[in-house]
Homo-oligomer: A and B are copies of this chain.
Amino acid sequence: MKSITKYLTFHTEKKFKLVNITSDVQKIVFESKVTEGICLVNSMHITSSVFINDNESGLHQDFETWLENLAPHSPINQYLHNDTGEDNADAHLKRQIMGRETVVAITNGKLDFGPWEQIFYGEFDGCRNKKVLIKVIGE
């Protein structure tokens, strides 16, 4: 079994930001020389997500509006978590809807994707360094 583990660091300028990381992940898959296996991609933080969806800017704004509606940031004092001095309880909730991780099949040395699948880092409490882990295992 071969394996490779890599970490990407993100520091977004805004609290909410979706970043397309597909080509970063694909490069790591090539580097691993794994031709048959799987690739795990996960946020290492609990106020952000890794997920697969569409690379379309209108949809990304729809995600922001929709998540803000399902788990509003304000008023901050609606969440007990924010009594600890944080103001990011909403980001912990948003991340549950969008997910922590994705597992992608590697077939013939490539991410085995449908026509529109792209991997995103979803930041819901940005403006600081946060990391994503990529682990490839296989042969």
Binding site for B on A (CB under 8 A): 1, 3, 5, 36-38, 40, 42-46, 51-54, 56, 58-59, 61-63, 66, 70-71, 79-84, 89, 92-93, 95-105, 107, 112-117, 130-131, 133, 135, 137-139
Contacts and interface: CB of A to CB of B under 8 A. Distances in A.
- Number of copies of this protein chain within its complex: 3
Given A1-B139, A53-B95, 9 more contacts: A1-B138, A38-B40, A44-B114, A59-B89, A62-B89, A63-B96, A66-B93, A103-B103, A105-B135
Interface class of chain A by DSSP? mixed
A40 B3 CA distance: 17
B71 A58 contact: no
